[in-house]
Amino acid sequence: MQSLRWEPSKKDSEKAKTGITSNKEVRAGKNADIFLSNGVSDQVSEDCAFSVMYRENYESLDLVANSADIANIWLCKELSEWVSICKSVQFREFQVSFQVQKYWEVCSFDEVLASEYANENPGDSVNYNKHFLAPVFPSPIRTDSSNMNPQDFWKCGCQILAMNFQTPGLMMDLNIGWFRHYGNCGYVYRPGIMREEVSFLSTNTKDSSPGASPQLLHIKIISGENFPKPKGSGAKGDVVNPYLYVEIHGIPADRAEQRTKTVNQNGEAPIFGESFEFQINLPELAIVHFVVPDDDYIGDKFIGQHTIPFECLQTGYCHVPLQSLTGEALAHASLFVHVAITS
């Protein structure tokens, strides 16, 4: 629901609508002027009356529910959730915001503008996001509902990103994988270096970050099992020629990719037996992305993937379950790997 409507007055029908985000407060009781001035206060139960205060001048929409139970549902579950606790303001520049912006004021950014700030003023971007909410929305030119790279904005501390969940692919893999933190609870701590009052983090650095402890990630890809045929590969029959590549996503200094050799005609139990090593300079922002394609001279086709934050990796031998392009589990399909992490 985006707006609240009611029976329009004869004078101004446009006043019969208010956006949900413009609601400021919900007040219970029958103390509104409309109840008192019309002499209907005695006819209305105190438990059934409530008012919605909206817009900057706190206009009032006075409502009476059929029963106290219905009023409680609206007050406690519906309308109270609509009340805006943040005020939207226009962003001017970083130094002005540091001096005058209030903590409850929110500036929203188009991804193009947010990316420009993140690249040209990485330090100010990180410091701004320590104190204020900064939602980022896809560019209007994404008419195909494609997705921006969320890592470009997480790396400078943006807290809220609007993603096109209807469009699968790498960007959604990163977004869904990132929130595997803390048992998929929906919230993730920003890196400690981004929460310190004074820090010297530059998210565009190609070297290690001051205050962060680099680590070495050792991954041995031992084998796979039960790889399904890729969709649209009927012409090849039952033949699958899998290989695997491992990507590291994070700050520029951490981005890397390595791949195995192709195992011909074996999707049931391919043996890879290859080891990779990655240096992770900012572990708290790194994501590991396993991808299994089918090697085809016409064009490699996607088989499965798994995305997990670096800090959620468990060391030792483990099975990595594979997922489809849209995030569903692929029954019995997995990788067998060994993980080690050293300082």
pLDDT tens track for 123-155: 899 899 999 999 999 998 998 999 999 999 998
Query: Quick check: 38 pLDDT over 80?
Result: no
Q: Is 3-85 in CATH node 3.30.450.20?
A: no
Q: Is 215-342 in CATH node 2.60.40.150?
A: yes
Let me know: does 250 contact 256? Beta carbons within 8 Å.
no
pLDDT class of 161 with cuts at 50, 70, 90: very high
Question: 104 — alpha (psi -120 to 50), left (phi > 0) or beta?
Answer: alpha
Cα–Cα distance measured from residue 213 to residue 321, given in angstroms and rounded to the nearest whole number: 29
Q: State pTM to two decimals.
A: 0.73
Extended strands (E) in 188-266: 215-225, 245-249, 256-259
Q: Where in the chain is the domain with CATH 2.60.40.150?
A: 215-342
> 204-229 burial, b for 16+ CB within 10 Å, e for fewer?
ebeebbeebeebebebbbeebeebbb
Cα–Cα distance measured from residue 187 to residue 181, given in angstroms and rounded to the nearest whole number: 8
Strand, helix or coil for residue 111: helix
Query: Quick check: 47 pLDDT over 80?
Result: no
Query: Quick check: 197 pLDDT over 90?
Result: no
Q: Give the whole-number percent of the chain exceeding pLDDT 70.
A: 73
Rounded to an integer, the average pLDDT of 3-20 is 54
Q: Mean pLDDT for the chain? A: 82
Predicted pLDDT at 198:
67
Predicted pLDDT at 160:
92
Extended strands (E) in 165-214: none
Give the residue, 312 or 193, on which the prediction is more confident: 312
Query: Quick check: 237 pLDDT over 90?
Result: no
Q: Where in the chain is the domain with CATH 2.30.29.30?
A: 3-85
Location of structure tokens 């329009």: 8
Predicted pLDDT at 1:
46
Predicted pLDDT at 194:
83
